[in-house]
Structure 1
Amino acid sequence: MGTVPGFDPVTEHEKTRSALRAVVPRLVRLGDVPDPEASSGVPVRTVGDVGTHLAAVHLAYCSIVSDGSVEWDTVLPSDDSLFVERIAAMNAKSIDLFGGDGHACPGDFVAERGEMFLRITEGLAPGTPVIAPWYGQGTTTTLATVTGLMLSESLVHGLDIARGAGLAWEIGPDEARLVLGQSMPAMMTPALDTAKARGVSIAFDLRIKGGLRLAVVVEDGTMTVTRDAPPRAYDCTITAAPVTFLLVSFRRTPIWKAIACGRMRAGGRRPWLAVRLGELVAAP
């Protein structure tokens, strides 16, 4: 079946930190957009809204690795809400955290909090536990996952702002692979739409060009995502360019376009099941 070499979590975590450090100045340069009220790459959100959300993201992640200054009980819905509902509520509230006045990305704040996050977490192991309340009361993830999520938010929302402002923005394949490797295994599972997944049994072999490989197994309302999994039989193999899969996952590129352009293809015993993966994973 073929395997890929195992990865070094410490080395990959440091590469993710370096990528985050490099993207922050690029975000700051996006702060002075000519029209904050222009439509962004996110439906119903202006360029200014996305910029404000991005600043709130940096605030949130700094809060959970430092002094916990955000009172999450005033931001999040009840504990029994679904994962996708909690994320949607967090996204909506993020605009209000900065006054909801539609200003574009507060560059100084993003630069300050991005640097603060990197400084506070310097030298910590990638497996260091971090409590992220917006994923569920008491939910613990790892520093590697949080760093990957900060990078993904910065790259994808940077693209949203740039698209609305008519500016250039590039996401490199190495950056995309880091995001997919660091955050995707942890975040796909809670994002599963358990109602749609009930009674479903599918094993996906997800191969990202350049070396990343994930086994995504859906079994009667549950999902497991395993990196560099032992050999097994799969129903569907999905092979994709890293940037393409990142943008398809975040609903920034339609899957039909990725397939038509040859940047994503399906194979295996039941290749037609490839579209089910996107249907089973909820998007807030």
Structure 2
Amino acid sequence: MGAVTACDPAAEHERTRVALAAALARLVELVGGIDDLEAPSGVPVWSVGDVGAHLAAAYLAFGAAVPGGPAGETIDWEAVLAGQEGTFGERIAAVNALSVGLITGAERKRLGAVLAERGAAFLRGSAGLAPDTPVPAPWYGPGRTVPLAAATGLMLNETLLHGLDMARGARRPWPLGPEEASLVIGQAMVTMMPLALDTEKAQGVRTAFDLVLRGGPRLAVVIEDGAATVTRDAPPRPYDCRITAAPTAFLLVSFGRMPIWKAIALGRMRAGGRKPWLAPRLSELITAP
């Protein structure tokens, strides 16, 4: 079944910061070796440069939001999101579409330096803060905040996945290890999965998933009548479906970088429990923008 391992929030958050710094260094090296930023990336309709611009915008957003972020670097989110009130997915899609145009011309030509500066600013601004420090995240909804642990996990996730997108476009290697994936899942997805629930599809649904990541965190995902709760290290309870997965495969499948059939065929994901056929429902109810 997989053991439930207790988490030390402060220690895991520090490991996530270390992983983010290492991934950021790899990303800057990757971007510095790409000659054609207009080449197609792993994201449909976005070039390699577009992905980098989006990533730089995400770094700026979180860097400006942390309490110790750089003075003078703020974003007028009311202006950016004007007319974009809607579901979680609609808001994120709108922000993503806007983000690629925020870095153009000469600034895009120094994309690696911009990413290095903004990534470092987030790490400096958040240094020494408790993992549960609230970080404003209005792009997720009016007045929305997320814990610093989730923000750091999201920064790591953005770096890993969009680094992969850029590397695929440039035909360069981009390793993504299970430890990094486990940190993203444990730090960010506990917060983000309930926000990403499709509340319309979830109406009338009552089901519980036991999500077991090999060598990583174990999450209880409970969906009841249009709402979701995700609990780490949950006490024993009955589940309808157990999903056991390798952390890297689960992360890639969750964000559309690997088809689920491939993860299953490679033995990196399987379903069990009383109702294993419910496993695909999780990705239908909780979707990545």
2:165 partner SS: helix
Instruction: Please name the residue that 2:27 is paired with.
Output: 27
**Aligned partners of 1:2 and 1:250: how far apart in 2?**
24
TM-score (norm 1): 0.95
**Aligned partners of 1:30 and 1:2: how far apart in 2?**
36
Which consecutive unaligned segments of at least 5 residues does structure 2 have?
none
Instruction: Please name the residue that 2:140 is paired with.
Output: 135
**Aligned partners of 1:155 and 1:136: how far apart in 2?**
24
Instruction: Please name the residue that 1:41 is paired with.
Output: 42
Question: Number of residue pairs matched?
Answer: 284
Which consecutive unaligned segments of at least 5 residues does structure 1 have?
none
**Aligned partners of 1:91 and 1:219: how far apart in 2?**
30
Instruction: Please name the residue that 1:215 is paired with.
Output: 220
Contact 1:188 1:225 in 2 (8 A): yes
* Amino acid of the structure 1 residue aligned with 2:39: A
Q: Does 1:171 align with 2:176?
A: yes
Contact 1:28 1:105 in 2 (8 A): no
Structure 1 residue 43 displacement after superposition: 1.4
Flag the 1:86–1:77 CA change in 2: closer, same or farther, 3 A: farther
Structure 1 residue 101 displacement after superposition: 8.9
Instruction: Please name the residue that 1:18 is paired with.
Output: 18
* Amino acid of the structure 1 residue aligned with 2:145: T
Mean Cα displacement is larger for which, 169-178 or 59-68?
A: 59-68
Instruction: Please name the residue that 2:254 is paired with.
Output: 249
Flag the 1:27–1:84 CA change in 2: closer, same or farther, 3 A: same
Flag the 1:244–1:77 CA change in 2: closer, same or farther, 3 A: farther
* Amino acid of the structure 2 residue aligned with 1:218: I
Contact 1:244 1:263 in 2 (8 A): yes
Instruction: Please name the residue that 1:84 is paired with.
Output: 89
Structure 1 residue 235 displacement after superposition: 0.5
- Show CA shifts across 1:250-280 (max 9, x none): 1110111100111000000110111111111
TM-score (norm 2): 0.94
Instruction: Please name the residue that 1:160 is paired with.
Output: 165
Contact 1:79 1:137 in 2 (8 A): no
**Aligned partners of 1:101 and 1:47: how far apart in 2?**
16
Identity over the aligned pairs, expressed in percent? Answer: 61
Contact 2:131 2:149 in 1 (8 A): yes
Flag the 1:173–1:74 CA change in 2: closer, same or farther, 3 A: same
2:270 partner SS: strand
Equivalent residue for 2:77, pick from 57, 65, 72: 72
1:44 partner SS: coil
Instruction: Please name the residue that 1:8 is paired with.
Output: 8
RMSD of Structure 2 on Structure 1 (CA)? 1.7
Q: Does 1:201 align with 2:206?
A: yes
Equivalent residue for 2:118, pick from 97, 108, 113: 113
Contact 1:192 1:281 in 2 (8 A): yes
**Aligned partners of 2:288 and 2:110: how far apart in 1?**
23
Mean Cα displacement is larger for which, 127-136 or 149-158?
A: 127-136
